Amino acid sequence: LMLKMLLQRESRPMIISIKPQAVIIVKIWNQLKCPSTDKWIQKMWYIYTTEYYSAIRMNEILPLAITWMELENIMLSKISQPQKDKSCMFLLICES
């Protein structure tokens, strides 16, 4: 029963050696000195998810900023248009 529980819990390949008094389980993965695949996948998933949501946020913020800049230009052009009209009128009066 204990051996079955250990095997169900562990998803990595194991070498199982059964002796009369004890069960010795040697994990192959303990011999390797590289990070586990699960941790690497979790790290990469986090990085890509973060980049994805950052890109979505930029796609939402950037058009809003552009709209505000365009609105500001429109407002400035409407304010300065009467001033342009006045200066043109002044030039016409002065020239005649």
Distance CA 1, CA 67 (A): 67
Contact 40, 24 (CB under 8 A): no
Chain segment 46-62, per-residue pLDDT in tens:
888 888 878 777 777 77
Report the range of poorest mean pLDDT among 1-10, 46-55, 62-71, 72-81: 1-10
